[in-house]
Amino acid sequence: MAAKIAGNLEGCNVSIIVQQLQGAYERGQLKNALYQYWAQQVPKIFFTSAEVAISTQRTPDAVQSEEKLSRDVLFEPLEWFLCGGNPAAVFQQLQSLNNPPQLCGKVFKVGEPTYSCRDCCADPTCVFCIECFNKSTHKTHRYRMSTSGGGGYCDCGDVEAWKQDPWCDIHKQGLGQQSQNPIEKLPPDIAARAWEVLKIALQYAVDMLLWEQMGGLPQDLEPSVPQNTYVTMLFNDEIHTYEQVINALTKAINCESKEAVEFATVVDREGRSSVRYGNRKSCDEARTVIQKSTSSVRSKPLKVEVMHTSVCAHQAFAQKVLNWLGQVVNHSDGLRHILCTTALQQPPTGDPCVVERLMLADTALWKTARVQCHQIMMGSLLMDQESKKQFSVLYTRNYPQVQKDFMADDHDHGVSIISLSVQIFTVPTLARYLIMEHDLLAIVIRTFLDQCASCRHGRYLLDREKLQKNFRRLQFPLLDLKYVLSMVPDQWNDQLKRKFLNGFKIMVELLTSMQGMDSVTRQVGQHIEMEPEWESAFNLQIKLAPAVAMMAGWCATDKMVLIDAFRIVVKALLEIRGTADTVKMCKRRVCDQEAIVVDYTVSREPVSIHLPICRLLAGLYLQLGKHGLTFNSPELYGPLDWTSPQARLSRASEIAHRASACPTPLVLARSQPPSAMDLLEQPLRTLVMIAQVHAEMWKRNGYSLFHQVYYYHNVRCRAEMQDKDIIMLQVACAQMDPNQFLIALLNKFELMNWIEDVTEKGGSATDDLLRFTNSLVEEFLTFLIIITGERYVPGIGQVSSEDMVRREVIHQLCISPMAHSELSKALPENHKHETGMEAVIADVSTFKKPGVTGMGRYELKPEFYKDYNPFFYHYTRADQSKSEEAQLKRKKQEGESTACPPPELPALSKEFSSLVNVLECDVFVHTIRMVLRRVNSSRSRSWTEAMVHRALHLVGMALNEEKRLYQTSPYIRFNFVKKATEGGSNSLYSALHDLLGKPRIQNHADLLTWVIDRFDEVKDLKDQKQGASDAQKAKKVSSKSKTDAERKKKAEAARKRREKILAQMSDMQKSFIRDNLELFEATGTELSSSPSMEVEGSPMVVPSQYPVAVGPDRSPATHVTLTTSTCILCQEDQEVAAGNKCVVLAAYVQRSTALSKSRGKVLEDPDKYDPLLVSPDLYHGVHTSTCGHVMHADCWQRFYEAIVAREQRRALRFRHILSYEVDRGEFLCPLCETLSNTVIPILPPSSTIQPDSVSADISLSFSDWLDGLKKTVEASQRAMMKEEEDKMESSDDMPVLSPCPLPSITKNMAEMAAQGFQQLFEYMTETGAQAPYSDSVKEMMKLFSRATYTFGLGLDPNDDDDRVPITAWGTCAYTIRTLEWLLRDQGKPLFGSLSSRQADCITALVRVVTVSGSLSDPQTISKSALRLLSALLPQEPMKNIPCILDLDMFFTLVFLHVTISSLYCDENTAAGGTIRGVALNDKHLMHLVTAAHLVQILLAANFTSADTPMDTEETAEGSAWVKLFMAVRKEAGVQTPVVPSGWQLQTYVRESVLPFLRCSALFFHCHTGVQSPAQLQESGVSEFEPLCQYLALPADLSSLLLQNSGADVGHVVPHTIHSKWCHYPGIKESLASGPASLVKYPVEVNRLVPLPHDYSDVINRGSVFTCPRSDGDDSRAPTMCLVCGQMLCSQSYCCQTDLEGEPVGACTAHIYTCGAGVGIFLRVRECQILLLTGKTKGCFYPSPYLDDYGEHDQGLRRGNPLYLCQERYRKLQKLWLSHSIPEEVVHFMEANASFATIEWQHL
């Protein structure tokens, strides 16, 4: 055997070791052998030198070699031995023995997506992994998605986790397998070895991890040669901040702060890190310093230990062993079973087993060690059913201790063993088993109680301080309780009952300790001095409420359990009440009715809002009916004393007795049922206090009480607070005589004086008292409405829980239409986070889809408005008034009566049927009559409108009730009508009639009418019932229907009138638009500030002369914008003219890479950047935008100086955080607050300055023009060469071309040509009119150019740099290019679709640029012109002149247009002052540049196949292109494997040249003001020919390059020039490097990266992404750059880098390479967009992913499935492409103060 192994092994020593192990194994000495081997090897491999010892200095190499060594030396031999052969093969074989898995069990990493099915999950913690989910049927159900916090696992295959379809398609295959003991399937020899090996390895790993002697090892691991090196080990805690740790480290080990940051990162990630390596002394010193510098009064110091390196080495190895074990058992069920058995086996010594040891030592371990232990538990114990059970027993047994350890610990819940609770307690069978056999319920509740309360005299007292400080840690047993209770048992047995009731009793003890908590006494006179703490009681309440509700739910399923639980609670309640002696009673009388009530004055004595015992009782009470029990059922009142052991014993037998269903009645001492008064008293006090708070009587008690009242009523608490109190009152009411009930209420509301008319009679009431009393009466009446009207609780009314939800939804939608999330927030959730809303929402509402912004909303269907009740008890006061307003508005619009009468109510259940008697009792009728009488009395001050409203509502309710009873029951005792009509003129009925027409109740007149109508109706019914004749009835037309009919008629008439007017208006509008179509479009778009200057002719006359914008024959300027404006600062109108005051536009100049075709290429050295010869990949550009607001230049300057001065003053005091940086020249537009950093001067249009006619008569043919320019380039080059040769030594200067004088060119030309040429250029240098621009204009132009230079290139201002004007021209070209892309991206026509600010921006830019040539140094300009020409008309190759492939032709066109006029300027030419721009130059230029562009396009073409569509004839143009294509490519020496067809080429060329033509057309349109052709104002039309015509180009562009027979030959670029282009150095290299590096034509619009449709794909991408810097670790905040798609590790120290000497996060670093300082990201975990600009500014933005309800979900809080909304993503695309991100960010920051405090640079 051994020999065979050796034969298979490469290298010798592994086989030797395996042989030794085998030998030892046979001798029974395996453990010794292994330990000896490890003792020698482990210290050699781990922690061998300082470099490896100090974690942060571990290079990837060191880590790798450690990894490899431990693999080769330590694990390899072990695996060979274990397998008895090649591990890879054996493990595979073992795997095949496994049953196909029925459980997935995939352990989630942090951030991985998880899915739960809302329809099928047993509880919300049940989740699927993405693979299982996608293969399951739940994909089609209502599912919820979220991201894992790490630590859980996939529940696929767990039959208890899912109500149906627990298996996905993958795991379904595991079904039906025989469950054979998996160990039996293993080959016996392997099994035998595995028992040994796994046991030794596990024992070793756990021993080492828990090893406490840091100075040395266990004896059997001591190496033979002891070393003497130590490390200082620093441990993580959650108390000290990064900064504190870094600070301590820099002191202790004298390191750079960067290194300290790395240590701190490791400590945070791994839980510990060695920070020093050396001898004992130096390590001790470091420890002392760290501890000293981190200890403070408030916190204990950081944990630091000095450890022997060999201990570290073994611990490191122990962690690896755990991992290895995890891998090994993953191969085989059998091996897993062996490991589990070993781990759970108690050693013969009686010590705890390995698992228990780990459980109890959890908090002593460091972070990674803990996580590894938990992972191996999940991967082994929890995957094996039997072991899971054993594990859970151990866990339950140790639960109190483990929780206690966690309390004392400082690590997060996620890295604690208690995070495993969810894996155990959510399994229903397991939970039930643990309850029955191990008293789990009692243990959990008791653990909580012991943690936060102390027991005194048998009663628990809550420890406020603990609750307040540690609640975050304390709460976990309460969560566990929720898990345990989440599945209600379908079957009970005795043991379960006993154990459940045992737990229930402890729960009642806990609730008893809360009863009466935080009681308050009304403060009179002075305001309270200190706000009492109130949150902890509410925190406790919120966490406890679900568990209490679930316990009540358990009770409800079994009659006996319910009875016992009821008794326990009643007993507790009576104990709280105390004996009858302590309760004072007194007598009260109202209108001949007398009642004995509890004498307790809420406004003077303490009252608490916390009454959990009463509320629990109310909850149980509602369940009684289900089991045929009532409040007075004798079964409910057994012996009170069953705490004594005997009593308990007798209980047990009693329960057993009952369970055997023996009908013999039990003979037991009975207690009296609590009196209705006992039930009533406590909740009534609380409710009265709240009424008094509303009446503002408790103002002096401060905010604390205010908050409590708020939460009492809030959706999160009300179900277990307010609602239960109301139920309790209803319970009491149903038991009592209604008159007595009302007297008790009046007494408690302190309204006895009011009802006895004392205040009214005395007339001496103070204003305050009167106000309080009036408010209290309102509250009292509201209260009656609620008590009698709130019947939508199953048990009280005859309703289902669906009815209850439906009513909630209806009332929410009566406030306003709502989005899904708003609605769910307003509804209470059950423990499964369900509101039940989906079941009813479609019935009651219609869904309105959202637009590009906003959310989808639900609107109530009209037929449900009748259910509206303005006094709905879950309305806040704001809700109430909003809903009333909305309903009033709606009713007025519909022309209905404005009354909102009480809605029809469902019948009450039998138990509660006597509730309605309140509405007809004497005291009630008396009270209402009193209210109405006071309204009628003109002297009375004690009435309010609100009172009338409520009184009328109550009368309406009483009438409704009587009517309902008449209709449903044959015999009724409800006599409201009778009582209300008694007493003649004193009756309630006549009081109602007296109100009619009273102006003081005008607002409720409609309701009054309704009430009287209803009154008459019911009276009739009553008479009918009593057999009275109904002869009268017929003739009586109800006043209601009469008034209603009238109203309807009026409203109908009004509506018709409105419609008619609207129709007329719309007709007029339509015809107006038809008549003024052109004008209409212009106002929307091109025209901005000056509609008066619109001089364009009527659109009908256009076709007679097609507009041409270029050349001597160009059309007259008709479309001139930006001519007059109003200064937004001084409000004066200003005409734009050369001599007038200068006006400017606020503008923002920014660097840009948006158009880059080489993403990631950065402007490395701005000092060397040549802005003149622009590369066509546009990797860097300068973009300018404006908000379009105009100011006088001097007004703006004063404004700007004021801002600067203000900021300087402010800087001295506090640094105010601004959204803009004044020191970078930024300011906000004074009108619209758009971010700006410069201004663009508005110049007069060129047509007003330079008459066109002047240059018209110069004649110079294209070829002569070309010839002249060629000669110029030649001559200059010759001159330069000569100069070069003359001064060889200074050759590192760039060669500079200087233009030669004009005569030296013309002398070599033919006479006619020379004359024309002379005229063309001479005219411009000598006879130009003096430039009419004022100094202020020139200054503003300079300012703008300077801004483009400094902000665009990121350089310091330097006015002497020749590149200053050039960057200004560049920004004009770049901005036009951007706009062209934007229009193309949105499929809009070229003209007429720009916004006015965009149109104004390019118009202003073009005007500035076209005259800037004449305002700069003419020599600089002429040199620029010459350089451009030498690129375009190359002669001799020059090293700083690129080939035409590397030149953007639109930029070249703009630059040449600006500069060419100054070509022949020299020092003698007067500087400045000449206006140039002769049309003939433009035309020739246009031809030349287009020709060059065409060659560029032909050279870059990359056809892979040749084809022609059928029926396409080859055109002359097509053949010309083929000819040209072949020719230029041959010249350039490129291979042409595929020759495309003429049709293909023609299409390709036309498409490719189009963007250039479009940009040129925009440019010349802005420059000349020639109106655009009509075709270019529509989308979807062929643009090519109109564009050519507009630009004075031939429609057949091939004629620019090739002399076609018959065609106009005036503009052919001769072959010699093509040839030069194609032979220029660099061409061949560019072409040879392949299509990837060339710009592809047609140039496509850059878009944000495509995003997947389903957001879970995004989450998944984020979860597989690991931090690129920390060796495969998860990234905490994976963030995707939407520009380039790269995933980044954001917001984390690990990926910080230095930017200009400051540490910045990954996103900020990225925007400087990817987006020139601007970025747009998707934060994957948060599902939100992050916009960044610069280092300090940013904002969050809703993501474009929406759920089915049209809502986004920031932070994935709701978890609905999310899908990409294309429209919204396009909106983001537009935001990015239009360069609006900085502007948007600043707007957001201005609007959102919290954004200013975020440190954006760290993201």
Helix (H) or strand (E) holding 596: strand 593-598
269 binds Zn ion (CB under 5 A): no
1709 binds Zn ion (CB under 5 A): no
**Nearer to Zn ion by C-beta: 98 or 1118?**
98
1803 binds Zn ion (CB under 5 A): no
Q: Which two tokens stand for residue 1737?
A: 């500014």
Q: In which order are the strands placed within the sheet that holds 1678-1681?
A: 1687-1689, 1678-1681, 1718-1723, 1728-1733, 1737-1742
**Nearer to Zn ion by C-beta: 107 or 733?**
107
261 binds Zn ion (CB under 5 A): no
Which range of residues in 45-53, 114-122, 357-365, 1198-1206 is near Zn ion by CB under 5 A? Answer: 114-122
Candidate list 418, 1087, 1383, 1683; residue touching Zn ion; CB under 5 A: 1683
**Identity of the residue numbered 63:** V
Q: Write each residue from 151 to 170 as x if it is in contact with Zn ion (CB under 5 A), else as -, in one continuous string.
A: ---x-x-----------x-x
Instruction: Report the DSSP pairing between strands 1133-1135 and 1124-1126.
Output: antiparallel
Sign (positive or negative) of CA dihedral 1183, 1189, 1194, 1196? negative
| Min dist. Cβ of residue 1200 to Zn ion (A) | 13
| Min dist. Cβ of residue 1198 to Zn ion (A) | 9
Candidate list 90, 94, 120, 442; residue touching Zn ion; CB under 5 A: 120
How far is the C-alpha of 824 from the C-alpha of 1758, rounded, in Å? 10
How far is the C-alpha of 750 from the C-alpha of 548, rounded, in Å? 34
132 binds Zn ion (CB under 5 A): yes
**Nearer to Zn ion by C-beta: 115 or 1655?**
115
Q: Which two tokens stand for residue 1220?
A: 């803009």
Contact 477, 445 (CB under 8 A): yes
| Min dist. Cβ of residue 328 to Zn ion (A) | 22
Please count the residues of this chain forming the interface with Zn ion, following the rule CB under 5 A.
35
| Min dist. Cβ of residue 241 to Zn ion (A) | 19
107 binds Zn ion (CB under 5 A): no
| Min dist. Cβ of residue 724 to Zn ion (A) | 33
**Nearer to Zn ion by C-beta: 440 or 1683?**
1683
Which range of residues in 60-68, 595-603, 1407-1415, 1695-1703 is near Zn ion by CB under 5 A? Answer: 1695-1703
171 binds Zn ion (CB under 5 A): yes
| Min dist. Cβ of residue 1047 to Zn ion (A) | 50
Residues 1709, 1714, 1716, CA angle at the centre, nearest 5°?
85
The contacts of residue 498 (CB under 8 Å, 6+ apart) are 652, 655
1667 binds Zn ion (CB under 5 A): yes
How far is the C-alpha of 1545 from the C-alpha of 1521, rounded, in Å? 6
| Min dist. Cβ of residue 1667 to Zn ion (A) | 3
| Min dist. Cβ of residue 101 to Zn ion (A) | 8
Tally: H helices and E strands in the chain: 69, 27
How far is the C-alpha of 1092 from the C-alpha of 494, rounded, in Å? 94
How far is the C-alpha of 385 from the C-alpha of 395, rounded, in Å? 15
1096 binds Zn ion (CB under 5 A): no
Instruction: Report the DSSP pairing between strands 585-590 and 593-598.
Output: antiparallel
How far is the C-alpha of 523 from the C-alpha of 539, rounded, in Å? 25
Q: Which two tokens stand for residue 972?
A: 């009724």
**Identity of the residue numbered 1469:** T
β-pair partners for 1718: 1733
1343 binds Zn ion (CB under 5 A): no
How far is the C-alpha of 113 from the C-alpha of 115, rounded, in Å? 7
1193 binds Zn ion (CB under 5 A): no
1195 binds Zn ion (CB under 5 A): yes
**Nearer to Zn ion by C-beta: 942 or 1660?**
1660
Contact 252, 290 (CB under 8 A): yes
Interaction residues for Zn ion, span 1221-1250 (CB under 5 A): 1229, 1231-1232, 1234
**Nearer to Zn ion by C-beta: 1192 or 1567?**
1192
**Nearer to Zn ion by C-beta: 120 or 1549?**
120
Candidate list 106, 861, 1157, 1661; residue touching Zn ion; CB under 5 A: 106
* Strand locations in 90-163 (E): 113-117, 143-147
| Min dist. Cβ of residue 1705 to Zn ion (A) | 9
141 binds Zn ion (CB under 5 A): yes
| Min dist. Cβ of residue 1250 to Zn ion (A) | 28
573 binds Zn ion (CB under 5 A): no
Calculate the alpha carbon distances from 619 to 321, 1077, 1313 in Å. 54, 71, 106
**Nearer to Zn ion by C-beta: 1459 or 1692?**
1692
Interaction residues for Zn ion, span 350-389 (CB under 5 A): none
1731 binds Zn ion (CB under 5 A): no
119 binds Zn ion (CB under 5 A): yes
Candidate list 1714, 1729, 1775, 1781; residue touching Zn ion; CB under 5 A: 1714
**Identity of the residue numbered 1667:** C
Closest to 367 (Cα-Cα) out of 425, 321, 303, 314: 303
**Nearer to Zn ion by C-beta: 104 or 440?**
104
Q: Which two tokens stand for residue 146?
A: 């979220």
145 binds Zn ion (CB under 5 A): no
Which range of residues in 206-214, 646-654, 949-957, 1189-1197 is near Zn ion by CB under 5 A? Answer: 1189-1197
Closest to 1497 (Cα-Cα) out of 1442, 1454, 1447, 1459: 1447
| Min dist. Cβ of residue 1518 to Zn ion (A) | 41
Which range of residues in 117-125, 1086-1094, 1528-1536, 1759-1767 is near Zn ion by CB under 5 A? Answer: 117-125
117 binds Zn ion (CB under 5 A): yes
| Min dist. Cβ of residue 1515 to Zn ion (A) | 44
User: How does DSSP assign 1208-1223, residue by residue?
Assistant: HHHHHS-----SS-GG
Candidate list 126, 485, 1187, 1456; residue touching Zn ion; CB under 5 A: 1187
Instruction: Characterize 1370-1388 residue by residue with b for buried, 16 or more Cβ atoms within 10 angstroms of its Cβ, and e for exposed.
Output: bbbbbbbbbbbbbbbbeee
Helix (H) or strand (E) holding 307: strand 304-308
**Nearer to Zn ion by C-beta: 1090 or 1304?**
1090
**Nearer to Zn ion by C-beta: 158 or 681?**
158
Distance, first Cα to last Cα, the chain: 60
**Nearer to Zn ion by C-beta: 69 or 1162?**
1162
| Min dist. Cβ of residue 1782 to Zn ion (A) | 14
The three-state secondary structure class of 1194 is helix
Q: Write each residue from 1112 to 1131 as x if it is in contact with Zn ion (CB under 5 A), else as -, in one continuous string.
A: ---------------x-xx-
The single residue listed with the structure tokens 């979900």 is: 1753
Q: Which two tokens stand for residue 1507?
A: 């084809």
The contacts of residue 870 (CB under 8 Å, 6+ apart) are 880, 883, 884, 887, 900, 949, 953
How far is the C-alpha of 166 from the C-alpha of 809, rounded, in Å? 33
1684 binds Zn ion (CB under 5 A): yes
Instruction: Characterize 1473-1501 residue by residue with b for buried, 16 or more Cβ atoms within 10 angstroms of its Cβ, and e for exposed.
Output: ebbbbbbbbbbbbbbbbbbbbbbbbbbbb
**Nearer to Zn ion by C-beta: 113 or 619?**
113
572 binds Zn ion (CB under 5 A): no
104 binds Zn ion (CB under 5 A): yes
402 binds Zn ion (CB under 5 A): no
| Min dist. Cβ of residue 1745 to Zn ion (A) | 20
How far is the C-alpha of 1178 from the C-alpha of 1175, rounded, in Å? 6
Residues in contact with Zn ion by the rule CB under 5 A: 104, 106, 117, 119-120, 129, 132, 138, 141, 154, 156, 168, 170-171, 1127, 1129-1130, 1187, 1189, 1192, 1195, 1229, 1231-1232, 1234, 1667, 1669, 1681, 1683-1684, 1689, 1692, 1694-1695, 1714
